[in-house]
Amino acid sequence: MTFSPTFTIGVCPMINQQLIKLAKGMGNSLILVILIGSLSGLLIIAQCFLIAELVDGAFLKEQGLTELATGLSALLSLILLRAFLFWAGEIFSLKGSLQVQTKLRQTVLGQVFRSGPLSSRQQDTGQMISSLIDSVDALEDFFARYLPTLALAGIIPLGILIIVFPRDLLTALILLLTAPLIPLFMMLIGSLADKWAKKQWHVLGKMNSHFLDVLEGLTTLKLLQKSLKQTKTIEQLGREWAETTMGVLKIAFLSAFFLEFFMTISTALIAVSLGLRLLTGNMDFQTAFFLLLLAPEFYGPLRNLGTQYHAGISATKAVENVFRLLSSSPREVQFGERPVNKEILNKQIKFENVSFYYEDQRQALRKITLSIQPQEKLALVGASGAGKSTLLQLLLGFAHPQAGQILIGELPLSAFKPESLRQQIALVPQKPHLFRGTIAENIAFFKPAATLPEIKTAALKVGLHQIVLELPAGYETIIGGGGRSLSSGQGQLIALARAFLLDAPLVLLDEATTSLDPVSEEAIQKALAELLKDRRAIIAAHRLATLKQVDRIAVLNRGSLVEIGSQAELLANEGFYYRLLNSYLGKTSD
């Protein structure tokens, strides 16, 4: 997506076209807010007229309270009605803003989820969080305050001019000639405000990213005694954030000051003009006082717009952050509607000349041609970055290859419904994520309707049951964020239990035994042997010593398939795998 900012007429800062599109999401709320504001403007005119009439009657015509009672009751009614309309306008504006924010968050999250891990790995997590939370939050004031104020800044002054012109041409001309000074000044400071706002959001994203990195690497930082240095870095980023925020606020306060200045000077000019003509008898008091009361109300919406100027600037930068995130994600992968069952997934799976590029044009896979037979165990071997995990992600349907195709039987993978496909594939990742919840809920994550006996059976098959029973709350033990911590081996056992419970015909193992101690690895290997019985499996392996259970080995190097065969065949060929294994075992080949 591209951005084409434009200057709009009036006092608004540079507004992104995307903000205009998002404003449509407010629906009737925005229309109601503008109608309510316009009605309030009419009530302001009526209120000024009544006040002028009451003052004229009380002081010049010497009317008593009885004669003024009707006018005073009407004035009180107008004040109460304006208060009610103000309350209603606030409700509708906040409701409309919430609708836009909710829809935008759903759009961003939906795209992140649809694009899958291949996309999220290329995104800065801190920047993503900043866009999803801070940037969307910053839009509240824009849609709830700034946008309605911007609309009323054009409607109410125009309505007042229509009332003033027939009554006094000079006052109308003063209003008409002084009003453009405000947008002119705003346009002059707009570029400076844009610069500071861009810097502010850049610092916020950098601060979020750095803070997240520090939290994730806290153990390493403590071990290396570098945590104090990171504290100082965060303090420096905090000072930069404070400095940029104050810079934006200074501009907002400066704009508000000049708005007040222009309004005061313009109102003074009108007061002097009216006063002189009142003294010379060229104008009656009621008309002069009515026009004088209208003058501040004419500039009032423009002054209110100035107080919301910061919201306009922040929203412009915030929405750019959000849509930059959306535009940097791959397009949604398009699938068909064919359901997938065990019979379909037990057919041959074939990669035909598959090539895949990341968004930055880095090539992850080059013309991979590979078939996996039913119940075959195939290992993918190669150094980090060889393309093993990418092959698994493509098979899961998280992205489409830019060239070639993946076939299940005779049909392309894209012909099938992704939810149905993934229900027939059990993934055991390198670092399984444990969500906050009970151990039972985490085991049943792929199959939420599973009963407790089914969950216990799956845990028993992977050797997890006895470990869980030793915990105080057993299967009701809370784990994940803020809960009980589990070891890497125990986390892997939960991932394997999930796969057992799903009972899928195809198992994908992504470095399942990496970084485990010998005892944990032995337990995992036993669980894997049980899991892989009578199932087809594709195993992305980094530790070559764990390939005893596979039928064939596909050797990848820099995204290309360089060898394939049984371990005995590859060793006999003394090719790339032979050298790779010798390097792993610490041997040198002649």
pLDDT at 11: 40
How confident is the prediction for the chain on average, in pLDDT? Answer: 80
| Of 521 and 297, the one with more pLDDT | 297
pLDDT at 218: 64
Q: Is the CB of residue 559 less than 8 Å from the CB of residue 383?
A: no
CB proximity list for 246: less than 8 A, separation 6 or greater: none
Band (pLDDT 50/70/90 cuts) for residue 589 is very low
Q: What average pLDDT does the segment 543-559 reach? A: 79
Q: Is the CB of residue 514 less than 8 Å from the CB of residue 388?
A: no
55-64, 261-270, 364-373, 538-547: segment of lowest average pLDDT: 538-547
CATH 1.20.1560.10 spans which residues of the chain? 17-328
CB proximity list for 368: less than 8 A, separation 6 or greater: 351, 353, 354, 355, 387, 391, 404, 559, 560, 561
0.75 cut: is pTM over it?
no
In the predicted structure, residue 590 carries a pLDDT above the cut 50: no
Which tens digit of pLDDT belongs to each residue from 178-210? 888 776 766 666 556 666 666 776 777 677 676
How many Å from the N-terminal Cα to the C-terminal Cα in the chain?
55
* CATH number among 1.10.645.10, 1.10.10.60, 2.40.30.10, 1.20.1560.10, domain 17-328: 1.20.1560.10
pLDDT at 7: 32
pLDDT at 165: 93
Band (pLDDT 50/70/90 cuts) for residue 80 is very high
Band (pLDDT 50/70/90 cuts) for residue 445 is confident
Band (pLDDT 50/70/90 cuts) for residue 328 is low
What is the DSSP annotation of 252-309?
Answer: HHHHHHHHHHHHHHHHHHHHHHHHHHHHTTSS-HHHHHHHHHHHHHHHHHHHHHHHTH
The closest alpha carbon to 507, from 562, 457, 573, 462, belongs to 462
Q: What average pLDDT does the segment 444-470 reach? A: 88
In the predicted structure, residue 10 carries a pLDDT above the cut 50: no
Q: What average pLDDT does the segment 84-89 reach? A: 92
Most confident of 239-248, 302-311, 319-328: 239-248
Q: Is the CB of residue 323 less than 8 Å from the CB of residue 201?
A: no
199-203, 237-241, 393-397, 403-407: segment of lowest average pLDDT: 199-203
Place of tokens 């589990």: 486
Q: For the chain, percent helix, then strand, then coil, each to nearest 5?
A: 65, 10, 25
Domain at 334-424+540-590: CATH architecture: 3-Layer(aba) Sandwich (3.40)
pLDDT at 271: 93
What is the DSSP annotation of 486-537?
Answer: --HHHHHHHHHHHHHHHT-SEEEEESTTTT--HHHHHHHHHHHHHHTTTSEE
In the predicted structure, residue 450 carries a pLDDT above the cut 80: yes
Task: Please give the Cα distance from 151 to 155 (Å, whole number).
Answer: 6
Q: Which two tokens stand for residue 555?
A: 């050797």
Q: What average pLDDT does the segment 1-14 reach? A: 36
pLDDT at 182: 72
pLDDT at 135: 72
Band (pLDDT 50/70/90 cuts) for residue 173 is very high
Q: Which two tokens stand for residue 163?
A: 């009332």
Band (pLDDT 50/70/90 cuts) for residue 586 is low
Q: What average pLDDT does the segment 274-301 reach? A: 91
pLDDT at 277: 92
18-27, 163-172, 452-461: segment of lowest average pLDDT: 18-27
Element (H, E) at 445: none
